[in-house]
Amino acid sequence: MSVFSHREFDNHQQVAFFKDKKTGLKAIIAVHNTNLGQALGGCRMWPYATDEEALTDVLRLSRGMTYKSALANLKLGGGKAVIIGDPRSQKSDELLYAMGDFIEGLGGRYITAEDSGTSVPDILKMSQRTSYISGVDKASDHGGDPSPSTAYGVFVSLREAVTYKLGRANLQGLRVAIQGLGNVGYRLAEYLHEAGAELFVTDIVQANVDRAVGELNATAVAGDKIFALDVDVFAPCALGAAINDQTIDQLRATIVAGAANNQLATTDHGQLLHNRGVLYAPDYVVNAGGIIDVYYQRKMLSADYSAENYASDLSTKVEGIGTTLKEIFARSEAENLPTFVIADRVAEERFNSATNCWQPTRSNAPMATQSYSKSV
């Protein structure tokens, strides 16, 4: 499995592999950039079909975290971890402890939090072996779970996109198609329902769909039919690459704004959306609420930063996502460039010009090399 020649390799500073025979753990951690600070990003557990698929995912996701943190004006770099396995059948306490050992071995270059397939209790188990965790602070409103902040940030973003594109002052009667009703997708649906939007939903877990139909008066949609609905907004909130060769021609929505990472299968699809007049809210801007939350949770480790500071700063920063998007939309229109191009440029200006590059010290240096790996 070649890393340096991989199509998603983007001058990543570190890619580490870990295999633990005893627990069955197979994991990859990718650190994209630490110019602005330590790399922070979630730990995903997913039954990838191949190791290549897992590597592709972790490289794309870690790069996205660098851009996400830069656009959110956080002193963080970008990283991500993936565990290859089915979280419903292959997760165990021992496996999570082993993952904590892996993270600890990187000496603080990477800090983890929950993601798809992992939870706050899972991260707490990892914390028994490493201090480089976040998103588990009991003083936060949701016990450290960052997904509510992610969902609210997506709602703020969607609202801003609707105002910019459709000139609407409210969301009453807005037709929104949501693909994916996990922790973030369902909370987004709740916000939209409360705002008066009409919802169309799909999810691979039928119970999630049934709940949205029963509680939010949503309309259930079968699988891939979600793309072709005559709606105002398409909100991808499942896995990445929702906008691809097979789906882009089906889209009838004039706005794409959702929580999923890496929504564009390729940059060509972003250009096509722009050419067709579809307003795309770049995913790593839209879903930054979670990383903002865990950033301020980590700040509470210092004695001079209180829970009151956390609540105030978190609210201001998440609401600020809308302001950032408005600037990206306006510049995109003025320069006739896709929104993702503008967002990339703004982020790159920030992390490439940073001079306070995080470096490991004696107390947190990696155990042997920057490509720490273990197999037992």
Q: Looking at the DSSP assignment, which residues form a beta bridge with residue 375?
A: 19
State CA 69 to chain mean position distance. 11
Two tokens, residue 271: 């250009």
DSSP string over 173-228? T-EEEEE--SHHHHHHHHHHHHTT-EEEEE-SSHHHHHHHHHHH-PEE--GGGGGG
Query: Is 80 considered catalytic here?
Result: yes
The one catalytic residue in 21, 22, 68, 80 is: 80
Contacts of residue 263, defined as CB under 8 A and 6 or more positions apart, other chains included, come to: 236, 240, 241, 242, 243, 256, 280, 283
Strands 25-33 and 219-220: unpaired
95 vs 41: CA distance, rounded Å: 19
Is residue 149 within 8 Å of residue 318, measured between CB atoms?
yes
Q: Is 80 exposed, middle or buried (0-12, 13-18, 19+ CB in 10 A)?
A: buried
What is the sign, positive or negative, of the torsion defined by CA atoms of 283, 7, 79, 116?
positive
Which residues are part of the catalytic machinery? 80
